């Protein structure tokens, strides 16, 4: 009799286990995947396609392999979500659509961001992103609306906790920096660094801000750069700023080159959008403040976050192409 009861109990657990009837979601990047999985909790299973350590436009050979590895999940997924910017349109979304068509799995309809260029590596951007993601999940699974709204509020609180503290607001803004253009919103708009110059890849504005151009400016106008504290790189764009760092060192400026990231899971311990925010601000926090914070912070044991975390961006309340299912 006891064995029968135990077996019945285990069977009951099986049927109520998280994920058995979960909404399945395919995301192009970890930017969308992180809030989707957090807000979705036990009601959602999500995967991402693009490798978060490399810019998606550099993954023409990687993305098809990742699709094959997740083919069983992708073919039966309920929801397909994307930024819908030029990179997604060229390097991620078509590969998924071609895979589905080639295997007769149906046509993919994408849920996309209202603003494909939305910034997500600032607290305000991450909150806008998360609110839009919650809207997607509610539209796809309205029966669990209250659950998603509760977890959204929890996630927004985590983002707020990662924002600048009152002490950090006193010491981070105003420091001089040379900034990779893709990190300008975070470095200047959020952290309040003093922008001395930007730099960018060759294709940006006809090559007017390449590292070579900025190096020439450093040599011609050294006084402009004498107080620069940081050269800020963008991880997913590769190393562009080594020459800038060397040129400033040659001019006696003890600059530090730091590398901001945009994507969750691009570094160990950087698993979520709040982690991205904390990591980036930590790179430009004066050493004495960072050391004091470490000494006074209570010891913590990292608690596992539910499921896998995802990311992406947009002004909250977007409507666009809600509910993306195969036909």
pLDDT single digits (tens) 234-284? 998 888 999 999 999 999 999 999 999 999 999 999 999 999 999 999 999
Domain borders along the chain are: 9-162, 173-284
Residue-level pLDDT at 236: 83
**Most confident by average pLDDT, 51-55, 254-258, 320-324:** 254-258
pLDDT above 80: residue 15: no
The residues, any chain, with a CB within 8 Å of residue 258's CB and separated by 6 or more, are 230, 231, 232, 233, 283, 284
Tokens of 139: 């539209």
Strands (DSSP E) found in the chain: 23-27, 44-48, 79-82, 110-112, 176-180, 194-199, 228-234, 256-260
Query: Quick one: pLDDT at residue 315?
Result: 29
Tokens found for residue 190: 């959020």
Output the DSSP codes for 234-264: EGGG----HHHHHHHHHTT---EEEEE--ST
Residue range 79-137, pLDDT digits in tens: 999 999 988 998 899 999 999 999 999 999 999 999 999 999 999 999 999 999 999 99
Write out the two tokens for 89.
């349109």
Q: Between residues 31 and 299, which one has the greater pLDDT?
A: 31
Give the span between the Cα atoms of 50 and 90, in whole angstroms: 12
Please identify, in words, the CATH class of the domain defined by 173-284: alpha beta
- Identical topology for domains 9-162 and 173-284: yes
Which residues touch 295 (CB under 8 Å, ≥6 apart)?
none
Model confidence pLDDT, tens digit, residues 123-143: 999 999 999 999 999 999 999
Instruction: Summarize pLDDT for 169-207 with one digit per residue, the tens.
Output: 999 999 999 999 999 999 999 999 999 999 999 989 999
pLDDT at 288: 59
Please give the sequence-ordered ranges of beta strands (E in DSSP) within 31-117, or none if there are none. 44-48, 79-82, 110-112
pLDDT at residue 305, rounded to an integer = 32
Which percentage of the chain shows pLDDT scores above 70? 82
Residue 107 and residue 100 in contact, taking contact as beta carbons nearer than 8 Å: yes
Measured in whole angstroms, the distance separating CA 184 from the mean position of its chain's CA atoms is 16
Looking at the domain that runs over 9-162, which CATH code has it been given? 3.40.50.1980
């Amino acid at each position: 009799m006891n064995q029968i009861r135990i077996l019945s109990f285990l069977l009951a657990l099986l049927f109520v286990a998280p994920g058995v009837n979960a909404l399945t979601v395919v995301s192009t990047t970890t930017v969308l995947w992180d809030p989707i999985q957090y807000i979705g909790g036990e009601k959602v299973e999500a995967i991402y396609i693009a490798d978060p350590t490399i810019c998606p436009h550099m993954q023409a050979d990687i993305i098809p392999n990742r699709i094959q590895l997740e083919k069983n999940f992708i073919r039966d997924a309920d929801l397909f979500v994307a930024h819908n910017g030029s990179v997604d349109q060229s390097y991620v979304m078509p590969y998924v659509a071609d895979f589905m068509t080639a295997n007769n799995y149906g046509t993919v309809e994408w849920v996309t961001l209202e603003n494909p260029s939305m910034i997500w590596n600032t607290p305000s951007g991450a909150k806008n992103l998360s609110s839009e993601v919650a809207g997607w999940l509610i539209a796809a699974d309205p029966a669990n609306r209250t659950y998603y709204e509760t977890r959204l509020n929890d996630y927004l609180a985590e983002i707020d906790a990662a924002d600048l503290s009152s002490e950090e607001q006193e010491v981070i803004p105003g420091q001089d920096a040379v900034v990779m253009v893709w990190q300008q919103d975070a470095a200047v708009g959020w952290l309040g660094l003093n922008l001395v110059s930007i730099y960018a890849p060759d294709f940006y504005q006809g090559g007017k801000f390449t590292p070579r151009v900025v190096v020439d400016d450093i040599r011609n106008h050294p006084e402009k750069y004498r107080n620069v504290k940081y050269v800020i790189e963008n991880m997913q764009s590769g190393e562009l700023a080594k020459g800038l760092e060397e040129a400033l060192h040659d001019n006696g400026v003890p600059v530090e080159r730091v590398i901001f990231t945009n994507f969750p899971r691009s570094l160990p311990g950087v698993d979520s959008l709040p982690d991205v925010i904390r990591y980036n601000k930590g790179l430009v926090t004066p050493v004495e403040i960072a050391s004091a914070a470490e000494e006074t912070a209570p010891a913590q044991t990292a608690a596992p976050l539910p499921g896998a975390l995802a990311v992406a961006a947009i002004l909250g309340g977007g409507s666009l192409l809600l509910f993306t299912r195969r036909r």
